[in-house]
Amino acid sequence: MKFLTAAFAAIAVCTSVAVQAAYPDRAIKLIVPWAAGGDTDNIFRPFAPPFQKALGATVVIANVGGASGTVGAREAKGSPPDGYTLYAVHDYIHSTYYTGVADVNYWDFEPVCRIASTPSILTASPKTKWSTLKDMIADAKAHPGQISVGATLGSTSHFFPALVEKAAGIKFKYISYDGLAQRMNAILGGHIDLTDGNLTQKGKVDAGQLKFLASATEKRMEELPNVPTLKELGYDVVYSVSRGILAPKGTPNEILSKLESACSQASKDPAFAASMKSQGTDVLYLDRKGYAEFLKQNDVLNKDLSRELGILKR
């Protein structure tokens, strides 16, 4: 009996190894928890071709929006840990958890890699009367709580303007939208005054459809030499959104290693780099170990920030 048990165990191990060695042998679903056309979608779509080339299997992007990214997060969390469902994530995984919007956090997954980071830009509707950040802040002080900001509550698009609020001693009125695509439609239609934008809106700014007031970078962006930084205007706010890939908890190490290797190759792809540059995004690859440490540190920062902003719920 012991011999048979040992034999069956050996067969199970060999079968598992064989299955993992064959990975991937079918299409992989990459869940993007926001609508098509948003920032996260626009970053992972040009990443998918070199990623699938490196993996040797098709990567299909599935936009699963809703509840500030939580619907997609829950689907990813509940998927089999076999490497065929991956999760495209950014810093909202921390902020929505600590603000009580979501019940999912980074520790519910296995880190695969970080691929990019996008600096935020405070962006205004052309229907507003301000031409500078100074004008906006003066108006906000004169009319507290009346300037409307489109944001995904509890997410990065909420944290960034909240930091500006705190630094400038002003008060905004927040209106919730599920992702950048919805917020952009709202601000282009003149339904809100401000939102968290980035360089992908430069064409609309050049066309007079939007206004960039200030960037949350250390130095002025090369592509926007006439847009001041918040720091140079006297507000110590530096903020960017980092994006990476996670896998369901329990995904085998051999599969994670293959995914990590494919991420590394894809991050070096010239076409991906060119796409990121056009979006004002830095390619900042981190391997599994580095990304795990980054997630740990970023989680602490988001918890502390939630507390400082008075919106900590957990």
In this structure, is residue 251 part of a structural domain? yes
In this structure, is residue 87 part of a structural domain? yes
What gap in Å lies between CA 308 and CA 212, rounded to an integer? 26
CATH number at residue 136: 3.40.190.10
CATH number at residue 103: 3.40.190.150
- CA within 13 Å, CB half, 269: 21
Are 87 and 173 found together in one domain?
A: no
Structure-block tokens of residue 247? 């896998």
Q: Is 36 helix (H, G, I), strand (E, B) or coil?
A: coil
Are 13 and 53 found together in one domain?
A: yes
Q: Is 180 helix (H, G, I), strand (E, B) or coil?
A: helix
Backbone φ/ψ region at 52: left (φ over 0), alpha (ψ -120 to 50), beta: alpha
Q: What is the pLDDT of residue 13?
A: 44
Looking at 155, 180, 215, the residue that finishes a domain is: 215
Are 145 and 182 found together in one domain?
A: yes
Q: What is the pLDDT of residue 6?
A: 47
Q: Is the pTM of this model over 0.95?
A: no
Amino acid present at 134: K
Are 47 and 84 found together in one domain?
A: yes
In this structure, is residue 230 part of a structural domain? no
Q: What is the pLDDT of residue 21?
A: 63
| CB neighbour class for 214 (10 Å; exposed up to 12, middle 13-18, buried from 19) | buried
DSSP 229: B
Are 197 and 266 found together in one domain?
A: no
In this structure, is residue 222 part of a structural domain? no
Are 125 and 269 found together in one domain?
A: no
Are 95 and 135 found together in one domain?
A: no
In this structure, is residue 247 part of a structural domain? yes
Amino acid present at 84: Y
Q: What is the pLDDT of residue 39?
A: 85
Paired strand residues for 245: 88, 113
Range of the domain at 17: 2-118+242-308
Are 131 and 112 found together in one domain?
A: no
DSSP 170: -
Are 114 and 126 found together in one domain?
A: no
- Digits of tens for pLDDT over the chain (314 positions)? 544 444 444 444 444 444 456 999 999 999 999 989 888 999 999 999 999 999 999 999 999 998 888 999 999 999 999 999 999 999 999 999 999 999 999 999 999 999 999 999 999 999 999 999 999 999 999 999 999 999 988 889 999 999 999 999 999 999 999 888 899 999 999 999 999 999 989 999 999 999 999 999 999 999 999 999 999 999 999 999 999 999 999 999 999 999 999 999 999 999 999 999 988 899 999 999 999 999 999 999 899 989 988 889 98
In this structure, is residue 232 part of a structural domain? no
In this structure, is residue 271 part of a structural domain? yes
Number of Cβ within a 10 Å radius of residue 249: 11
Are 209 and 255 found together in one domain?
A: no
Are 260 and 169 found together in one domain?
A: no
- Using only C-alpha atoms, the chain has a radius of gyration, in whole angstroms, of 21
Could you give the number of structural domains in the chain? 2
In this structure, is residue 109 part of a structural domain? yes
Q: Which of 98, 43, 42, 90 minimizes the C-alpha distance to 69?
A: 90
Are 7 and 105 found together in one domain?
A: yes
Q: Which of 204, 196, 136, 124 minimizes the C-alpha distance to 162?
A: 196
Burial 42-69 (b: 16+ CB within 10 A, else e): bbbbbbbebbbebbebebebebbbbebb
